[in-house]
């Protein structure tokens, strides 16, 4: 059985005439008759009763016609899959919490404008969780900070920025007596940190490891906003990406603190599994995240100058 046989069968069903079906399909009558016989032989049923030289679609033929008609519609739909139905396949992405706060809204807005029919499935978690989802095939693209090179991944640069230590401007003098932190003072200071596995925490821990210190935070949270509010309330020092910190610094809500001779920074990437084919939708969402990162950086810079 093949698609052409089904097309001819349905044409005969529609006209109940070999002659008319041959005329519509620009085929000879013998060719139509042969195709119907071959189809009936392949299936093992007779679909037409032949009475007094006329065709009548029997009950088996009626049941087969329903299924053949649906199959033909599905086949034609598959032929145009890339143009139509392909747009309805969900695009699955994962973003670190920081990138989600910075550029996710812009990227999603731009993507939905261009691809309104494409569903988005989005996970916003820490870097380790997102990487696990990428490895397990739960997501197509990961937008994360601090990616470590791995032969199983392909990474495309999104943005790069510094990480700032900040605290409420009102407690800066009482806490450390200035904006410079000495190594020996780090153990006595109250830190408000993200959970292990997040980039902000991993960068901080890496610096403490370099300084041969083990810092236990007074507050640990998976939510950066919780840490920001706690820092505003004067509970301690937290770590923020430069774009996010600048508006608070310009408004003098926070004071930036520096550890003598040391700094922290992070690089952000769009990461896919090696060998993963990136279609136009994949490439566009990556571009929108790049634009979002750039736009947020410009907005924060403008705010800092006001």
pLDDT tens per residue across span 263-281: 999 889 999 998 887 889 9
**Does this model's pTM top 0.85?**
no
d(CA 15, CA 28) in angstroms, rounded, equals 15
- Domains observed in the chain: 3-79 (1.10.10.10), 86-159+267-305 (3.40.190.10), 161-266 (3.40.190.290)
**CA–CA distance from 11 to each of 65, 182, 200 (Å)?**
10, 87, 66
pLDDT, position 11: 93
- pLDDT at residue 306 tops 50: no
Residues 164-185, mean pLDDT to the nearest whole number: 87
Residue 301: pLDDT band with limits 50, 70, 90: very low
What pLDDT, in 10s, does the model give residues 15-30? 999 999 999 999 999 9
Q: Where is pLDDT greater, at 145 or 12?
A: 12
d(CA 302, CA 173) in angstroms, rounded, equals 28
What pLDDT, in 10s, does the model give residues 176-189? 777 889 888 899 99
d(CA 294, CA 279) in angstroms, rounded, equals 23
What pLDDT, in 10s, does the model give residues 106-157? 999 999 999 998 999 999 988 888 988 998 999 999 999 876 656 688 899 9
What is the rounded end-to-end Cα distance, in angstroms, of the chain?
A: 74
Query: Is residue 26 packed enough to be buried (19+ CB in 10 Å), middle (13-18) or exposed (0-12)?
Result: exposed
Q: Which residues are 156's β-sheet partners?
A: 270
Residue 174: pLDDT band with limits 50, 70, 90: confident
d(CA 158, CA 155) in angstroms, rounded, equals 9
Residue 291: pLDDT band with limits 50, 70, 90: very high
pLDDT, position 197: 82
Rounded to the nearest 10°, the torsion over CA 203, 206, 210, 213 is 100
Pick the closest to residue 291 from 109, 127, 96, 116 (CA basis): 109
Residue 297: pLDDT band with limits 50, 70, 90: low
Provide the 10 A C-beta neighbour count for residue 53: 5
Pick the closest to residue 144 from 268, 252, 290, 275 (CA basis): 268
């Amino acid at each position: 059985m093949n698609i052409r046989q089904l097309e001819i069968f349905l044409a005969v069903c529609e006209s109940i005439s070999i002659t008319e079906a041959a005329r519509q399909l620009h085929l000879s009558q013998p060719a139509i008759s042969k195709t119907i016989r071959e189809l009936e032989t392949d299936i093992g049923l007779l679909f037409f009763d032949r009475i007094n030289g006329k065709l009548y679609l029997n009950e088996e033929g009626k049941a087969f016609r329903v299924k053949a008609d649906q199959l033909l519609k599905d086949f034609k739909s598959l032929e145009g899959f890339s143009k139509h139905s392909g747009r309805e396949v969900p695009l699955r992405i994962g973003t670190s919490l920081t990138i989600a706060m910075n550029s996710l809204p812009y990227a999603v807005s731009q993507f939905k404008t261009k691809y309104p029919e494409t569903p988005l499935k989005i996970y916003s978690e820490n870097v380790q969780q997102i990487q696990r989802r990428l490895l397990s095939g739960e997501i197509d693209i990961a937008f994360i900070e601090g990616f470590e090179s791995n032969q199983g991944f392909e990474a495309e640069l999104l943005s790069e920025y510094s990480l700032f230590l900040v605290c409420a401007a009102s407690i800066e003098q009482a806490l450390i007596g200035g904006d410079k932190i000495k190594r020996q003072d780090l153990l006595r200071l109250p830190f408000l940190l993200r959970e292990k596995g997040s980039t902000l925490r991993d960068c901080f821990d890496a610096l403490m490891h370099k300084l041969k210190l083990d810092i236990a935070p007074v507050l640990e949270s998976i939510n950066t906003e919780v840490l920001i509010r706690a820092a505003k309330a004067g509970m301690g020092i937290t770590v923020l990406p430069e774009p996010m910190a600048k508006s608070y610094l310009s408004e003098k809500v926070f004071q930036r603190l520096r550890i003598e001779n040391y700094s922290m920074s992070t690089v952000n990437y769009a990461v896919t599994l090696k060998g993963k084919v990136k279609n136009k939708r994949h490439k566009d969402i990556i571009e929108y995240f790049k634009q979002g990162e750039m736009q947020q950086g410009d907005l924060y810079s403008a705010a800092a100058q006001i």
